[in-house]
């Protein structure tokens, strides 16, 4: 899903929080000091190590934590400033906590109706059915909460938050309490959520993979301060991002699925700058969209298009920048095709032998099996 520029400029979340907490028993203190504005659409990931203030930021936005000084506006509505403090229950938010936080005294249905009984707007039956369907809850409705698996609980919690039709959905590491298999089970639901409802999401995580799959926009926090913010594709091609490890650098692409080749189990996708073949994925989103992540080390460079190669994807690109890496033997190239910047890592030897310079037109090869879902 390519983020569309808002026409009025009103769909924007502006936030500024300052807060200091001194923990006397641990003799430590924590400071949160952030000021940012982000588009009120798509998924904005809040990324950082534990203790960087991600959860505190989310709690401030929800009004669960009182900052020392704060300002928060959503699409022009003031939720908090020097004189205003909207209580949590008056803020149009949905909040999905890190651990599944269903009410244990209610059934799944009871948990869902707790939300829609309190929603400002009368519940639209279609909307309700859509949520139940997308979150896959049909068979769970009558169950007691403690009969559900961790992943199921979290799906119910997400559905419950969505039923309020919030102006902003806050998700605090919703996958962190789940094991690897359950994570894979629930990620597609969150991807669908992103594609199906026009609700902006603030998504706290410390997983690069989740950002690559879900986020449109990223805020990076370090020790309570905002160090970088930007578009997810900019982030992954930005070689100066401190928290991104060398192996994680690459490119994130939003693609439309053009066709599926049943015989070879491949699909052809188009992005803003070319087309790629890749193995068919099982969890295709509505509207035939999908998101890809291509690591810098999975792209190679040739001077001419190759014909006798096992690699299916070749793109004609222009070299935009050349940055030697600190570790010595390799160099990162930024290359451009259409409106898209790709990041590729090659050895210094190849750089010299191919005579690559900025502005040169070359071909890059992307191995289909190397494209991450």
Residues that bind another protein (CB under 8 A): 62-64, 87-89, 93-95, 97, 101, 103-105, 114-115, 118-120, 160-161, 164, 170
Residue 209 in tokens: 């993979």
**Nearer to another protein (CB atom), residue 115 or residue 244:** 115
Closest Cα to residue 59, out of 11, 85, 97? Answer: 97
Closest Cα to residue 41, out of 202, 226, 254, 213? Answer: 202
Q: 248: which residues sit within 8 A by CB, 6+ positions away?
A: 208, 236, 295
- Give the nearest distance from C-beta 88 to another protein in angstroms: 4
**Nearer to another protein (CB atom), residue 63 or residue 250:** 63
Compute and round to an integer the Cα radius of gyration of the chain: 23
Place of tokens 């992954």: 236
- Give the nearest distance from C-beta 159 to another protein in angstroms: 12
- Give the nearest distance from C-beta 92 to another protein in angstroms: 9
Q: Are 249 and 343 in contact (CB under 8 A)?
A: yes
SS3 359: coil
**Nearer to another protein (CB atom), residue 89 or residue 181:** 89
Phi, psi of 194 (to 5 degrees): -65, -35
- Give the nearest distance from C-beta 118 to another protein in angstroms: 4
**Nearer to another protein (CB atom), residue 15 or residue 319:** 15
- Give the nearest distance from C-beta 347 to another protein in angstroms: 52
CA distance 340 to 354: 23
**Nearer to another protein (CB atom), residue 87 or residue 142:** 87
**Nearer to another protein (CB atom), residue 23 or residue 310:** 23
Q: Half-sphere exposure (CA, 13 Å, Cβ side) for 347?
A: 4
CA distance 154 to 174: 7
Phi, psi of 140 (to 5 degrees): -100, -10
- Give the nearest distance from C-beta 234 to another protein in angstroms: 31
SS3 21: strand
* Count of Cβ atoms closer than 10 Å to residue 361 Cβ: 10
**Nearer to another protein (CB atom), residue 170 or residue 317:** 170
Residue 210 in tokens: 């989740």
- Give the nearest distance from C-beta 346 to another protein in angstroms: 49
Q: Half-sphere exposure (CA, 13 Å, Cβ side) for 52?
A: 17
**Nearer to another protein (CB atom), residue 87 or residue 282:** 87
- Give the nearest distance from C-beta 26 to another protein in angstroms: 16
CA distance 355 to 357: 6
- Give the nearest distance from C-beta 143 to another protein in angstroms: 18
Strands 12-23, 69-74: pairing is antiparallel
CA distance 146 to 102: 9
**Nearer to another protein (CB atom), residue 88 or residue 352:** 88
Residue 41 CA from chain centroid, whole number? 12
């Amino acid at each position: 899903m390519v983020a569309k520029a808002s026409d009025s400029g009103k769909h924007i979340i502006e936030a500024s929080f300052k807060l200091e907490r001194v923990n006397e028993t641990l003799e430590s203190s924590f400071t949160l000091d952030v000021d940012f504005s982000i588009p009120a659409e798509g998924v904005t990931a809040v990324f950082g190590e534990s203790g960087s203030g991600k959860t505190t930021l989310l709690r401030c936005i929800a009004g669960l934590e009182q900052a020392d000084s704060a300002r928060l506006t959503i699409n022009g509505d003031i939720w908090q400033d020097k004189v205003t403090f909207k209580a949590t229950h008056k803020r149009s938010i949905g909040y999905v906590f890190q651990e599944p936080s269903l009410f244990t005294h209610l059934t799944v249905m009871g948990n869902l109706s707790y939300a829609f009984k309190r929603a400002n707007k009368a519940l639209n039956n279609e909307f309700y059915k859509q949520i139940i369907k997308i979150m896959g809850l049909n068979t769970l409705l009558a169950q007691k909460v403690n009969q559900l698996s961790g992943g199921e609980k979290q799906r119910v919690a997400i559905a419950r938050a969505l039923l309020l039709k919030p102006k902003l959905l806050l998700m605090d590491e919703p996958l962190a309490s789940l094991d690897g298999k359950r994570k894979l089970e629930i990620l597609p639901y969150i991807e669908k959520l992103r594609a199906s409802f026009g609700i902006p999401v603030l998504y706290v995580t410390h997983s690069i993979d989740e950002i690559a799959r879900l986020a449109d926009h990223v805020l990076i926090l370090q020790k309570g301060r905002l160090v970088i913010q930007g578009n997810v594709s900019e982030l992954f091609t930005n070689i100066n991002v401190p928290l991104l490890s060398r192996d994680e650098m690459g490119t994130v692409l939003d693609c439309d699925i053009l066709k599926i080749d049943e015989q070879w189990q491949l699909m052809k996708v188009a992005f803003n700058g070319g087309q790629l073949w890749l193995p068919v994925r099982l969890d295709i989103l509505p509207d035939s969209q999908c998101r890809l992540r291509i690591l810098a080390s999975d792209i190679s460079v040739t001077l001419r298009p190759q014909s006798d190669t096992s690699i299916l994807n070749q793109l004609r690109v222009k070299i935009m920048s050349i940055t030697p890496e600190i570790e010595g033997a390799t160099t990162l190239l930024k290359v451009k095709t259409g409106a898209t910047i790709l990041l590729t890592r090659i050895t210094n030897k190849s750089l010299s032998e191919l005579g690559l310079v900025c502005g040169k037109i070359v071909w890059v090869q992307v191995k289909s099996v190397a494209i991450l879902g």
